[in-house]
């Protein structure tokens, strides 16, 4: 396989012209997203350059303390991002705690399992494997968890009268929201199911594409991509189940009464 072709600042500037063209079109059509696109592009550039500089130092030193710190920062930011995508948020630190725990179960633990028992890196925290793997799991499971959480809370709020009627008819709290939980689980899993179904036919996933561009053998790149897809699928499923279970519990008080006013903010 050939060596990786190095990109210059000029090459990236040419690519940015495509985004600028899209910004100009959005302004022309009065879509109202021109400023958001510009800020997002600037953030992407600054954040990725900063991460690249940090990872260069981490890769050279490979100290467990620094790697764990980076992982913790990634987990914390991902948990806040989940909350930022919710229309109706859980009050206080419960929302962040639920999101962080779901991400810990879905991404952190699965990353450790993959490093120890599947990839078997030596040492297990080798940053070239640990940090990118956790990043891919966090980025994908975060979307599933956010979608599932938002669907559950939104639907429960819209159907609160139905839920209360079911409670009065003798159903338990979990029975009253069972159908909503099932639909929320489906909503959270749809993105990864679609990604798996389309992988290799409609799209070439990012990790596989990156490895091929870097000169890896296509078959090896495919093996790693299959591994990543399976890990993401399992992580998303476990994360969505965990977050839906915890939120369902928080929707009711000790006497199994809905408590939206005490639990949520941004209620319209």
pLDDT, tens only, 44-102: 999 889 988 888 888 887 788 888 888 999 999 999 989 887 877 777 788 889 999 99
* Predicted pLDDT at 267: 43
Provide the whole-model pTM. Answer: 0.81
Q: Summarize the confidence of residues 7-34 as an average pLDDT.
A: 89
Question: Which is more confidently placed, 213 or 245?
Answer: 245
* Predicted pLDDT at 2: 55
Among 128-142, 163-177, 201-215, the range scoring the smallest mean pLDDT is 201-215
Where exactly are the structural domains of the chain?
1-61, 63-265
pLDDT tops 60 at residue 266? no
Distance between alpha carbon 141 and the CA centroid of its chain, in Å? 4
At 134-161, the pLDDT tens digits run 998 998 899 999 999 999 999 998 898 9
At 221-264, the pLDDT tens digits run 888 888 988 999 999 999 999 999 999 988 888 888 887 765 65
* Whole-number Å distance between alpha carbons of 113 and 109: 6
Taking alpha carbons only, the member of 40, 34, 41 closest to residue 12 is 41
Q: Tell me the pLDDT of the chain averaged across its residues.
A: 86
* Predicted pLDDT at 257: 83
- The token duo for 73 is 């920062």
């Amino acid at each position: 396989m050939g060596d990786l072709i190095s990109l210059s600042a000029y090459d990236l500037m040419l690519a940015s012209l495509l985004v600028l063209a899209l910004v100009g079109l959005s302004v022309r059509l009065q879509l109202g997203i021109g400023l958001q696109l510009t800020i997002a592009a600037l953030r992407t550039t600054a954040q990725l350059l900063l991460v690249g500089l940090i990872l260069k130092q981490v890769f050279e030193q490979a100290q467990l303390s620094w790697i764990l710190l980076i992982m913790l920062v990634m987990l914390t930011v991902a948990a806040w991002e989940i909350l930022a995508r919710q229309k109706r948020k859980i009050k206080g630190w419960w929302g962040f705690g639920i999101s962080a725990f779901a991400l810990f179960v879905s991404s952190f633990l699965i990353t450790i399992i993959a490093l120890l028992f599947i990839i078997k890196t030596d040492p297990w925290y080798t940053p070239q494997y640990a940090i990118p793997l956790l990043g891919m799991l966090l980025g994908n499971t975060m979307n599933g968890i956010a979608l599932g959480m938002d669907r559950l809370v939104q639907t429960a709020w819209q159907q609160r009268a139905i839920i209360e009627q079911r409670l009065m008819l003798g159903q338990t709290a979990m029975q009253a929201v069972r159908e909503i939980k099932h639909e929320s689980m489906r909503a959270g899993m749809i993105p990864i199911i679609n990604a798996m179904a389309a992988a290799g036919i409609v799209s070439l996933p990012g990790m596989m594409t990156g490895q091929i561009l870097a000169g890896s053998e296509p078959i090896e790149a495919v093996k790693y991509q299959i591994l990543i897809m399976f890990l993401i699928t399992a992580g998303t499923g476990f994360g969505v189940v965990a977050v839906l279970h915890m939120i369902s519990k928080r929707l009711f008080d000790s006497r199994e009464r809905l408590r939206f006013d005490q639990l949520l903010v941004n209620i319209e």
